[in-house]
Amino acid sequence: MSDKLKSIFEDDDLGLLMTPQRAKQQTSSDRLEASFLAIVDFYNEHGREPSPATTDISERKLGVGLRGIRFDDKKVELLKHLDSHGLLNSDVAPENIESIFEEDNDLGILDDPTGILDVTNVPKKIVAAEYKAQQRKCENFSDFEPLFQHTHQALREGSLETIEFKGEQSIEAGEFFILKGMTVYVANKSDIFVNKNNKKDARLRLIYENGTESDVLMRTLARELYRNGRRLAEQTDSILDEDSESGYIYVLRSKSDNPKVANLTNLYKVGFSTGKVEQRVINAVNDPTYLMADVEIVASYKTFNMNTQKFESLLHRVFTDARLGVELVAKDGSKYTPAEWFIVPIDVIDVAIRMIISGDITQYHYDVRTKSLELADRK
């Protein structure tokens, strides 16, 4: 726990209190296996692997996790005994000879050290580029600044590490890279298209930590990363084996058809549970806490070595100005006002959770007008 986080809670009412050690200790290998089994469960239910590019946050989390596992040979080796569907093997048969060369960027098996494929002296038609990417000031950099701060904090604490860049398939929206010593965030990735050289490509929106942005092509970024870049990835083994599970922080979306609720954008419930979230919300339709309606689990975060209810209370304090302020009627006719529902974008909730863990939340407050975490006024 960081010194900044400790400074938030000088008394027990607001602190993240350490919980007693439990008899059964879960190792980093156990957590890795649990993460992969969640991916296997998704495959069993849907008949396909989770997508890392979907807008469904729960599925995207699983898809990004699977992609990260595939990039790590050690993790693949540890999980082979659980891979009943061949999820760890992402290889597919090539459609044609051109696709073999196109997908060889990762391993360089078809590199040509002999020069036999060198066509330098062969006349060819040069096509001028129709568009050149521009680097310019990022006008809404304040939206991304907390992400960079969290990333740097995670690198210092060891929960993130830099790993070798192994291919264009790792370039997705939401990923961080180190390029020539500078942290770069992929804010957006267009649909894949085929360029004039019959290669798959995409247009990216890159945000740089120096406050600029550019709209380079995916292949251009990949070329630079191969030369002088690294990818940022979660460090699974950084979690100590003696960590003890405390519970879950969860984010829910309501499926209510009540106009007072259904017409609201970015309405989420932020809560905690000591057990599985799925079990916690099983009777949501009969509970005013869940607006007397079924809910969708948008995200859940497992907590270790802390009082999860105190963590939840701090989140509620951060977003107190965005609390849902409506009076609703329960099935028995009684009136109630929801206390744990907030009108906040899901990505801002995610950033707030990570900033609480790092301790950086002490420097920010939530601005309902801009819908973002802003630096607190220190005057």
Sign of the C-alpha dihedral computed for residues 10, 352, 225 and 36 taken in this order: positive
Residue 120: its pLDDT value, please? 55
Residue 91: its pLDDT value, please? 46
Residue 143: its pLDDT value, please? 85
Residue 346: its pLDDT value, please? 92
Angle at CA of residue 32, ends 31 and 37, nearest 5°? 95
Classify residue 197 by burial, with Cβ atoms within 10 Å: 0-12, 13-18, 19+.
exposed
* Stated pTM of the model: 0.41
Residue 99: its pLDDT value, please? 44
pLDDT string in tens for the chain (379-residue length): 555 555 555 554 544 445 545 545 567 777 888 888 889 888 888 888 888 766 566 787 788 788 778 877 788 888 888 888 888 875 444 444 444 444 444 444 445 454 544 545 555 544 444 556 678 889 988 888 888 888 888 787 777 788 888 878 778 888 899 988 889 999 888 888 888 888 889 999 999 999 999 999 999 999 999 888 898 887 644 333 445 677 889 999 999 999 999 999 999 999 988 888 888 888 888 888 899 999 999 998 888 777 888 888 889 999 999 999 888 888 888 888 888 999 999 999 988 888 887 777 777 889 999 999 888 764 4
Compute the distance between CA of residue 130 and CA of residue 128 in angstroms, rounded to an integer: 6
Residue 109: its pLDDT value, please? 43
The beta-carbon contacts of 77-84 under 8 Å, at least 24 apart in sequence, are 78/29, 78/32, 78/33, 79/32, 79/33, 79/36, 82/33, 82/36, 82/37, 82/40, 83/36, 83/40, 84/40
* CB-CB contact of 96 with 72 (8 Å): no
Residue 236 φ then ψ, to 5°: -60, -40
- Whole-number CA gyration radius for the chain: 24
Residue 295: its pLDDT value, please? 94
